[in-house]
Amino acid sequence: MYRQGKYPVVAKKAIAKGIFDITVYCPHIAKLAKAGQFAQVAAEGYFLRRPISICDIDKENGTLRMVFEVRGKGTEKIAELNVGSLIDIIAPLGNGFTVLEGKKAVCVGGGIGTPPMLGIAKQYGENAQVISGFRTAGIAILQDDFKAAGCEATLCTDDGTAGIHGFVTEPLKARLESDKPDIIYACGPAPMLKNIVALAKEYGVKSEVSLEQRMACGVGACLVCVCKTVKDGEQFLSHVCKDGPVFDGEEVDFS
């Protein structure tokens, strides 16, 4: 079930160059939303909405938080919204992550794939390790939020300007060797997801990955967001917007 409406932006800040963090007051949506779901956000003057993950949900205060990077004309328009502006969204969309109560999780975010990790990591608190990878220190977002949620935050940068100099798969492998989690969640570039799923499989740990695909309708009606999945040896064409964006890692055909 989802809702469409215009809701007030109640907080906005730039958290890195070209990356914005907005909070929207939308109690009906916040009540329904789950970590891993997304919103289709209208960009004034453009016909197609832009999919943005729900980064965090505050059910008590009726708000949703979304963190997005300006990539093109649509996100540039959305970034012009300010506190007091109305934002037109359809949400919550998609399936969201599976939560394993009382278990241990590792959440892996790559670049702008990091925001959806906050909502799920918060549900595990100190039972979550969040491994995030960024190109460089200046765009390493949300680290304080993960720590404030009680999670262990492990930062990696490609250029070594902060945290571990290298890819997220290094600390993930070390964790799998020392203290196997019950589940791995991941969102980020496809090559990163492919390597994470391979590691999860090697160590016999369940994985869930959130896929990013170009979208149009966002509700399963247009076929723009199709991706290949495999279940019990059979191939399927799945809609990322409706059957996902979260898929069992082993069911995604990364080829």
Ligand X SMILES: Cc1cc2nc3c(=O)[nH]c(=O)nc-3n(C[C@H](O)[C@H](O)[C@H](O)COP(=O)(O)OP(=O)(O)OC[C@H]3O[C@@H](n4cnc5c(N)ncnc54)[C@H](O)[C@@H]3O)c2cc1C
Which residues make up the interface to ligand X (CB under 6 A)?
A: 38, 48, 50-53, 67-69, 71-75, 112, 115, 212-215, 245
- Name the residue nearer to ligand FES (CB basis): 52 or 155: 52
Contact 6, 24 (CB under 8 A): no
38 binds, among ligand FES, ligand X, none (CB under 5 to 8 A by kind): ligand X
- Interacting stretch for ligand FES, rule CB under 6 A, among 4-12, 123-131, 173-181, 214-222? 214-222
Query: Shortest gap between Cβ of 182 and ligand X (angstroms)?
Result: 25
- Name the residue nearer to ligand X (CB basis): 173 or 242: 242
Show the tokens assigned to 180: 């196997």
- Name the residue nearer to ligand X (CB basis): 116 or 171: 116
Show the tokens assigned to 217: 């309708």
Contact 111, 57 (CB under 8 A): no
Q: Does 62 bind ligand FES (CB under 6 A)?
A: no
Query: Shortest gap between Cβ of 190 and ligand FES (angstroms)?
Result: 17
- Name the residue nearer to ligand X (CB basis): 196 or 199: 196
Query: Shortest gap between Cβ of 37 and ligand X (angstroms)?
Result: 9
Q: Does 216 bind ligand FES (CB under 6 A)?
A: yes
- Name the residue nearer to ligand FES (CB basis): 100 or 216: 216
Q: Does 48 bind ligand FES (CB under 6 A)?
A: no
Figure out which of the listed residues 86, 221, 230, 237 binds ligand FES, where binding follows CB under 6 A: 221
Q: Does 222 bind ligand FES (CB under 6 A)?
A: yes
Point out which residues bind ligand FES (CB under 6 A). 215-218, 220-225, 239, 241
